[in-house]
Structure 1
Amino acid sequence: MDARDESRSALTAREFQVADGTGDWRVIGRDALAWFVTPSHAAGSELLRRIAGVVTTRGAPDHEAGTGPEVDLRARGVRVRLPRPGARFTEREVELARAFSATAAALGLSADPTGLQVLQIGVDAQDASALMPFWERVLGYERVGDAVLRDPGRRLAPLWFQEQDAPRPLRNRLHLDAVTTQPVAQATVTAVPELGGRVRRRHDYYATVADADGNEADVLPLQEAADRWQGAETEDWRLVFAAMACYPTGGIEQAVNLVDRVAALADDAGLALGIDVRPGCVTLDTGKDLWEIEDGYEVLAAQSQAAARGLGLRSDVTLPRFLQVGIDAVDIPAVRRFWAAALGYVEDPREGLTDLVHPHQLTMPFFLQGLDPDDHERRAQRNRIHVDVFVPDDQARARVDSALAAGGSITHDSEAPAWWTVADPEGNEVCIAVSPGREETWGE
C-alpha cells in the first residue's frame, strides 16, 4: 500500500463507528471495543477460539508481535479490544470488527455496549519530568512520550500528566493503592528516595509513599509471604488483593488452549474468574477479595495451575499487579453514591466496606475512607489527581446526568461534548469524556 492508499484508508474514531458492520463497536479512549454477552466462561472461550482463527487466517494484526486484539473473558461476557495502530484506524480494523461481530453472531451472541468504558488517572504537575520516574517504579509502568505512563501488561489504567496552573501544596483527597508481589513491593519502597520521593508512613503491611509534589500511593504487601497461599499446588499464584496468576504464552494457540481448560474449570466450580488474554500472556484474576469471601477459589487456582503445567506453561510471579483509587470523604454515603453513578459501578454489599466495583470487573475498584471535617484547608484545595472515564459517545450525556442526579456539579463544560468535568459533593473531580469527534474538532 502506498502513501496515498494509506491516507485514503485512514479513519477517525467517528468514521470507524459509522462504517458498515461496526455497529457492535465503540471507540473509547484510543481503541475500538465491543462487549459480547455470554452465558458462561466456556461460551466466551469458544468465541475467543474463533476470534483467534480469524486472526490466524487473515494474518493480521500480528498477535505474536504484540499488536493483536486484546480479549477479557468474564463469566457473563467477553470484551474485545482492537488497538488503534497509529493516529488513525484503517480499513483493516474495520474488517476485523466486522469479522469478529459475525463470529459472535454465528454463536448466537449479542453485543451490549452499555458497560464499556476506559479509565485513566490524570496528574496536575508543574514539572512532570521530575515525577515520572517515581510513578514508573511505583506502578511498574513504562513511559510513552513525555506525559504518559502505561501498564506494559495493558490491563491497568494509564497515568498521564498535565501542566498545573498554580502550586497546591496540601495532601490530595485521592490516592492510589499499588499492590504487587511482596519482593517487588519491598524493593519499590526501598527505591523511592532515590527517585525523588519519600516514604511518609511505613506499617507492617504497607507503606505510604509520595512523589516530590506530595501525590501519594500505598505500596503493599511488605510482609514476607503475605502474597501467597501455602502449598506447591498454588505456587503460580500471588495474592495482590485479587488472587492472580500470569502465564507467558508462546503463541495464540497456546493461549487459547489454556483459556479453554481454565474456562471449563471455572464453570464446573461455579466461580467467576477473569481471564485476560494479551499477546504473549494470559492473566487469571479472581477479582478483589473474592478469593477470601467465596469458598473454592484456592481449589480452582490449584486446578488451573495443573492445567497450565500440563500445557508446559509456568507463571511469571513478578507480573501480578492490582491498582485501585481511594477517596477521602467526610460524607462517605453521599460521595459514594456520586462515584457509583459517575463510573457506572455497583456498591460492594459487604457491611462496613465502601468499595465500588465495575459490574463486569473490567476496570479498577474505588473505595472511600474518612476525612476529618475540620480539615478545612485540605478540603478546599483542588486535588492534583483526577479521574478520566471515557464512555461510548451515545451514553456520555446520560452518564453526566446520572452523576448530576447523584449530587454532582459541572465545573467545566466548554469542551462538551468531548468532555465534561464533574465534581462530587466534596469537590473531587472526574472527567466524563468521549473519543469520536476529537479528530474533526481538534485535528488530534
Structure 2
Amino acid sequence: MTEKIADSGGKLSRQEISEAVGDLGWRYVLGIVRASVPVASLAQAADVAARVVAVAGDDGDGSLWMDVRRDRIVLSLQSLAVGWVTPIEIELAHRISAAVGESGLRTDAEIGDRGARSIQLLEIAIDAIDIAAIRPFWKAVTGYGDEAGASGPEDPLVDPVGQGPAIWFQQMDAPRPQRNRIHLDISVPHDEAPHRIKAALAAGGVLLSDAEAPSFWVLADAEGNEACVTTWQGRD
C-alpha cells in the first residue's frame, strides 16, 4: 500500500490514509494518524519514546509528536507544514510500529491497557452569523492560532501546543434560540463510532439525526444539549 501511495502523487484521500495504517493499529482522525502504545511504567514510556524518536530521525521533527505517560504513549503523525497526512507520515507509521514491535509492544487504537476508550480528537463548534467578527475574540481569549495553510477570517483555530480541542465556526443564517449555540464534535475512528453511539444512547442520550452518517451523527442529552460523533468516512 505504501508503494501505491508513494507513486500516486497529489493529496492522499482519507480512504488511502486509513487503509495504509489501519492494520498497524493506527487510526486516521481529523487529518492526523494516531496510535497508542500501552506501557507498564513511566520509565518504559521514556525508553519507548526514545526509540521512536531515533527511528523517526529527521522526519520526526516535521511530523511527529507524543504524549508520554506512565501507562501509555499516544503517538500522532501529521505534516506540520501542510496540516495533512503525506507519504512521509505513512512511512513513519510503518517504521515506528516496527520499532515498537521489536520492543515487545504494539501500536494500538485503544487508549490504556484495558481499552478505556479509542483514540479520538475533540472539537468545539460555535454557531455564528458573522464568523469573521467573532473569530478574533476566540483566538485571543484562548491563545490559539491558525491551522497550517488555513489562516482565513472564517477558518478553524487550533491550540499551538496541541493540548486543547480545536475550535471551528458553523455558519448560521439566523440564530437558533431553541438549541445550544456551542456543541462538541467527538471525532473517532470509523470503527469506533457505532460503539460510541450505542454507549451514548444507553446513557440516556437520543439520536437526533443520522442523515449525514457515516460522516456524523447528531445526538443530544436528556435536556437537548447536542454533540456530534464524527468520522472521516463520506468526506473524500
Where on the TM-score scale, by shorter chain, does this alignment land: which range? 0.7 to 0.9
Superposed counterparts of 1:20-419, under 5 Å: 22-56=23-57, 59-61=58-60, 63=61, 67-84=62-79, 86=82, 89-114=85-110, 115-143=118-146, 144-145=151-152, 146-168=154-176, 381-419=178-216
1:117-159 Cα deviation digits (max 9, x unpaired): 1001000000011111111111011133323111111221111
**Contact 2:34 2:76 (C-alpha < 8 Å) held by counterparts:** yes
| Structure-2 change in CA distance of 1:125 and 1:10 (3 Å) | closer
Give how far 1:437 is off.
4.2
| Structure-2 change in CA distance of 1:168 and 1:21 (3 Å) | closer
Is structure 2 residue 17 aligned with structure 1 residue 16?
A: yes
CA RMSD between the two structures: 2.0
User: Following the alignment from structure 2 to structure 1, what is the Cα–Cα distance between the partners of residues 137 and 206?
Assistant: 33
Unaligned runs of 5+ in 2: 1-5, 111-117
User: Following the alignment from structure 1 to structure 2, what is the Cα–Cα distance between the partners of residues 102 and 148?
Assistant: 35
Name the SS of the counterpart of 1:383 in structure 2. Answer: coil
One-letter identity of the residue aligned with 2:129: Q
| Structure-2 change in CA distance of 1:415 and 1:391 (3 Å) | same
Give how far 1:7 is off.
4.7
User: Following the alignment from structure 1 to structure 2, what is the Cα–Cα distance between the partners of residues 388 and 168?
Assistant: 18
**Contact 2:205 2:222 (C-alpha < 8 Å) held by counterparts:** yes
Name the SS of the counterpart of 1:44 in structure 2. Answer: helix
Is structure 2 residue 218 aligned with structure 1 residue 421?
A: yes
Give how far 1:160 is off.
0.6
One-letter identity of the residue aligned with 1:25: W
One-letter identity of the residue aligned with 2:124: I
Give how far 1:407 is off.
1.3
Give how far 1:95 is off.
1.2
Alignment match, 1:340 = none
Give how far 1:68 is off.
2.8
Give how far 1:87 is off.
7.1
One-letter identity of the residue aligned with 1:77: R
| Structure-2 change in CA distance of 1:98 and 1:437 (3 Å) | farther
Unaligned runs of 5+ in 1: 170-380, 440-444
Alignment match, 2:3 = none
